[in-house]
């Protein structure tokens, strides 16, 4: 029982950090795109955000088990 509580706490921390990273990456890629007018920054930002969302999904599934 104690081990499950520690796992849930770690998963919550990882999900919170991932959400913060996702917001920061979205802002940085949008700012870089505006400054350079290079579409590659938006594309790489979107791919990174999708990867983070997938990781959040996997950690949420792990938490529900």
pTM (2 decimals)? 0.80
Tokens of 3: 């081990």
Give per-residue pLDDT as tens, 10-52.
Answer: 989 999 999 999 999 999 999 998 999 888 888 999 999 999 9
26 Cβ contact partners less than 8 Å away, ≥ 6 residues apart: 45, 49
| Burial of 29: CB neighbours in 10 Å, binned 0-12, 13-18, 19+ | buried
Rounded distance, CA 65 to CA 15, Å? 16
Tokens of 25: 């990456």
């Amino acid at each position: 029982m104690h081990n499950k509580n520690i796992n849930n706490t770690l998963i919550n921390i990882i999900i919170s950090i991932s959400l913060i990273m996702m917001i920061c990456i979205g802002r940085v890629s949008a700012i870089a795109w505006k400054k350079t007018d290079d579409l590659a920054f938006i594309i790489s930002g979107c791919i990174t955000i999708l990867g983070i969302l997938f990781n959040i999904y996997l950690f949420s599934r792990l938490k529900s088990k």
